[in-house]
Structure 1
Amino acid sequence: MTIVVGFVPTKEGRAALARAAEEARGRHSRLVVVNSHRSTGDAHDDSAREAETEIQQVADGLSGDGVEVEVRRLGRGNEPAEDLIAAAAETDADLIVIGLRRRTPVGKLILGSNAQRILLDAPCAVLAVKG
């Protein structure tokens, strides 16, 4: 059994990661943490370092609990939805966990909605968590 979680260092990302960790412990599942972002060319920016530190802390804690954790840091230029859906399909995941934030209708129109795409196109169940 595999759980895939999307993580960025925001309150929504932290809530998704915490819930995915709970699910992995409870289900005795493998956890795949996907940190997907559009590459800026600077692999050492503050956001990337913050995400890496937080993911490593969670991974260390879960490993101590006997949960297998795989971390994927992706900066290929894909939308996060594409990376999460691909990771779920590749690992034959049973669940994807994502964080949600409220967006204005104009924000959805201009930026698109990764959450909506994941909910509609995921090959498995999706658990959406509020920050």
Structure 2
Amino acid sequence: MKILVGYVPTPEGEAALAAAAAEAELRGASVLLLNTSRGDAYIDARYADADELAAAETTLRDRGVEVSIQQAAATGDVAGELLKAAAAEDVVLIVLGLRRRSPVGKLILGSTAQRVLLESPVPVLAVKAPPRD
């Protein structure tokens, strides 16, 4: 049994990682951590570096969760990459972190989370980061 977490090194990504770890512990599942980005910037902070991926891996392994990591090339289609990985890896759950966006931002830019929620063949757990002080 495998859980897919869409991970980016942000508070939302960390919330998704924590939720995926908790679900994996409850279900006795492993976690597939997928990091990708839209590739819309020359330097993209959403594309995790080696240290960030190692820290995420340690977080999961410290909780006794087996993890595999994939980094998809920036194709501009994050939702597509998540859905493709979910199908290829036969996952039972997708975990995503949500960020706050204005209604106009959602309209103009679309929503990766919305597309995954609507098109996923498996349940999707969407989590928000804790409020910032």
- Aligned partners of 1:8 and 1:51 also within 8 Å: no
**TM norm structure 1:** 0.85
Q: Secondary structure at the match of 1:77?
A: coil
Q: Secondary structure at the match of 2:101?
A: coil
- Aligned 1:1-131 pairs, distance under 5 A: 1-39=1-39, 45=43, 47=45, 51-131=49-129
- Aligned partners of 2:37 and 2:44 also within 8 Å: no
- In the TM superposition, residue 90 of structure 1 has moved relative to its aligned partner by 0.8
Query: What residue ranges of structure 1 are gaps of 5+ in the alignment?
Result: none
Query: What residue ranges of structure 2 are gaps of 5+ in the alignment?
Result: none
Q: Secondary structure at the match of 2:68?
A: strand
Q: What amino acid is the match of 1:94? A: V
- In the TM superposition, residue 74 of structure 1 has moved relative to its aligned partner by 1.2
**TM norm structure 2:** 0.84
Distance 1:4 1:60, change over 3 A: same
Q: Secondary structure at the match of 1:47?
A: coil
Aligned length: 129
Fraction of identical pairs, as percent: 47
Deviations 1:52-73 (A, max 9, x none): 4233123134335542211111
Taking the aligned partners of 2:83 and 2:47, their CA distance within structure 1 comes to: 24
**Structure (1 or 2) with the greater helix fraction:** 1
Taking the aligned partners of 1:92 and 1:49, their CA distance within structure 2 comes to: 24
- What is the RMSD of the two structures over their aligned residues, measured on CA atoms? 2.2
Distance 1:41 1:120, change over 3 A: closer
- Aligned partners of 1:37 and 1:78 also within 8 Å: yes
